[in-house]
Amino acid sequence: MKKLLIYTGCMMGLLINLSAQETIYPAPAQKETIVLTNATIHVGNGQVINNGNVIITNGKITEVGTATAVGKIIDCSGKHIYPGLILTSTQLGLVEIPSVRATDDGTEIGEMNPSIRSIVAYNTDSKVINTLRPNGILLASINPDGGLISGSSSVVQLDAWNWEDAAYKTDAAIHFNMPSLLPRPPRTRGAAVPQQAIVDPVKKGLEQIENVKVFFREAKAYQAASTHENINLKMEAVRALFTKKQKLFIHCNIVKEMLLAIDFVKEFGFDVVLVGAVDSWQIADLLKQNNIAVALNQLHSLPTMVDDDVDQPYKTPALLQKAGVLFSINDEDGQTRHRNLPFNAGTACAYGLSKEEALSAITLNAAKILGIDAMTGSVEKGKDANIVVSDGDILDMKSNAISYAFIQGRQVSLDNKQKQLFEKYKYKYGIK
């Protein structure tokens, strides 16, 4: 792939990349064995191997350590090897431009949509995707939004011709948006406007949650029967939840919501992941006891309360780590479009996590939460070769400089529209 890029560059000569990013191709399947040598290998599980090699054959990691092999040797002296970074919860490829309705395929109408599948609308040609690989992000979970049960999310790899190619694990999780149990003040202001009564959201929320439980109870009963006169697509869609082949991602934030989420472990035996969970640090021990994992959506956020520690969101991962909760760090920022995932983890590191723990939160832990840890999430023998090579510490923006990235052993392009515009205007101004 690198050759191809150089070739492309040469062919264009002085007209540097004036063609659009439509020429950035997904990489073809790996043919030749690749050996990354003499690198500092951050395995993703906490381990660091100094001066090690990684051998990639047929899309898999075949050796990690000192062994070498015949093939394409890439000298990674002074560089760092990391597992490809993973976004745990995004609407990548579903929502292109948040403020433009026509580009929003993220939110369906209706309260109960378990049969909605994000994968079928995932747009591999989203311009955002190409900006993620150069920051080390190679995999993402794509989830639908809206209603109570939004549908199923799938994990995609970020270098594909179409959604079928991209699919890494389809329908990995069902998404449940817990109704907010926070009372909100009335929106209208001004003395002349009568104050609207504050509705009790807890009561309303509890009713809605009960409706979701009723659905799952009915689905369980439905699934117990071997034949059906009429197929119920909604109930069919959640079969894998009951066999734990699929997880239930519950989007919620405050303590009471999270406590209610425990019900879904207790009553249905689901594998539950809390997404958002900004106040999870307050009940970390309970989450641990109930085997509930947490996907922290965005560390770079303000504290919940005016009186909270100014940097409470930054400290939350360390508190979860200490309690032994399985958690991942995500970047759902709608303005920078997910690319600051490594730096969100870096911040957690500044506030109590070790560097390797912070790395796990965006690699192996994320893979565990998404149910793809057998395939990826760490630089370990037998796993898919989803690997990034950075010149420096990947978690720090001042040293994050990705020189190579491999998805399933394919060396993927690190080019994107933004780099091309950079080249175009460097050319205009004669900047070297």
- Scanning 10-18, 27-35, 182-190, 265-273 for contacts with another protein by CB under 8 A, the matching segment is 182-190
State which residue, 70 or 305, has the beta carbon closest to another protein: 305
Q: Restricting to residues 237-256, name those near another protein by CB under 8 A.
A: 253-256
**16 contributes a contact to another protein by CB under 8 A:** no
Binding another protein (rule: CB under 8 A), the pick from 185, 227, 229, 230 is 185
**298 contributes a contact to another protein by CB under 8 A:** yes
Amino acid at 133: R
**13 contributes a contact to another protein by CB under 8 A:** no
State which residue, 48 or 182, has the beta carbon closest to another protein: 182
Report, in Å, the least distance between residue 105 CB and another protein: 15
Report, in Å, the least distance between residue 294 CB and another protein: 15
- Scanning 37-45, 151-159, 178-186, 229-237 for contacts with another protein by CB under 8 A, the matching segment is 178-186
**346 contributes a contact to another protein by CB under 8 A:** yes
CA dist 363 and 41 (Å) reads 14
- Scanning 39-47, 238-246, 288-296, 342-350 for contacts with another protein by CB under 8 A, the matching segment is 342-350
**182 contributes a contact to another protein by CB under 8 A:** yes
Q: Restricting to residues 266-285, name those near another protein by CB under 8 A.
A: 278-279, 282
Q: Restricting to residues 56-95, name those near another protein by CB under 8 A.
A: none
Q: Restricting to residues 104-163, name those near another protein by CB under 8 A.
A: 127-128, 131
**425 contributes a contact to another protein by CB under 8 A:** yes
For the chain, report the end-to-end CA distance as a whole number of angstroms. 24
**102 contributes a contact to another protein by CB under 8 A:** no
Binding another protein (rule: CB under 8 A), the pick from 332, 356, 384, 415 is 332
Binding another protein (rule: CB under 8 A), the pick from 343, 361, 366, 389 is 343
State which residue, 3 or 187, has the beta carbon closest to another protein: 187
**192 contributes a contact to another protein by CB under 8 A:** yes
**429 contributes a contact to another protein by CB under 8 A:** yes
Site mask for another protein (CB under 8 A), range 370-409, x = bound: -------------------------xxxx-xx--------
**231 contributes a contact to another protein by CB under 8 A:** no
**188 contributes a contact to another protein by CB under 8 A:** yes
State which residue, 169 or 315, has the beta carbon closest to another protein: 315
The gap from C-alpha 42 to its chain's centroid, in whole angstroms, comes to 19
Size of the site for another protein (CB under 8 A): 73
- Scanning 23-31, 183-191, 267-275, 318-326 for contacts with another protein by CB under 8 A, the matching segment is 183-191
Ramachandran region of residue 168, left (φ > 0), alpha (ψ -120 to 50) or beta? Answer: alpha
Find all residues with CB under 8 Å of 283, minimum gap 6, and list them.
255, 258, 259
**165 contributes a contact to another protein by CB under 8 A:** no
Answer whether 64's CB lies under 8 Å from 39's CB: no
- Scanning 16-24, 157-165, 365-373, 416-424 for contacts with another protein by CB under 8 A, the matching segment is 416-424
Reduced 3-state DSSP string for the chain: CHHHHHHHHHHHCCCCCCCCHHHCCCCCCCCCCEEEEEEEEECCCCCEEEEEEEEEECCEEEEEECCCCCCEEEECCCCEEEECEEEEEECCCCECCCCCHHHECCECCCCECCCCEHHHHCCCCCCCHHHCHHHCEEEEEECCECCCEEEEEEEEECCCCCHHHHEEEEEEEEEEECCCCCCCCCCCCCCCCCCCCCCCHHHHHHHHHHHHHHHHHHHHHHHHCCCCCCCCHHHHCCHHHHCCCCEEEEEECCHHHHHHHHHHHHCCCCCEEEEECCCHHHHHHHHHHCCCEEEECECCCCCCCCCCCCCHHHHHHHHHHHHCCCEEECECCCCCCCCCHHHHHHHHHHCCCCHHHHHHHCCHHHHHHHCCCCCCCCCCCCCECCEEEECCCCCCCCCCCEEEEEECCEECCCCCHHHHHHHHHHHHHCCC
Binding another protein (rule: CB under 8 A), the pick from 311, 319, 323, 352 is 311
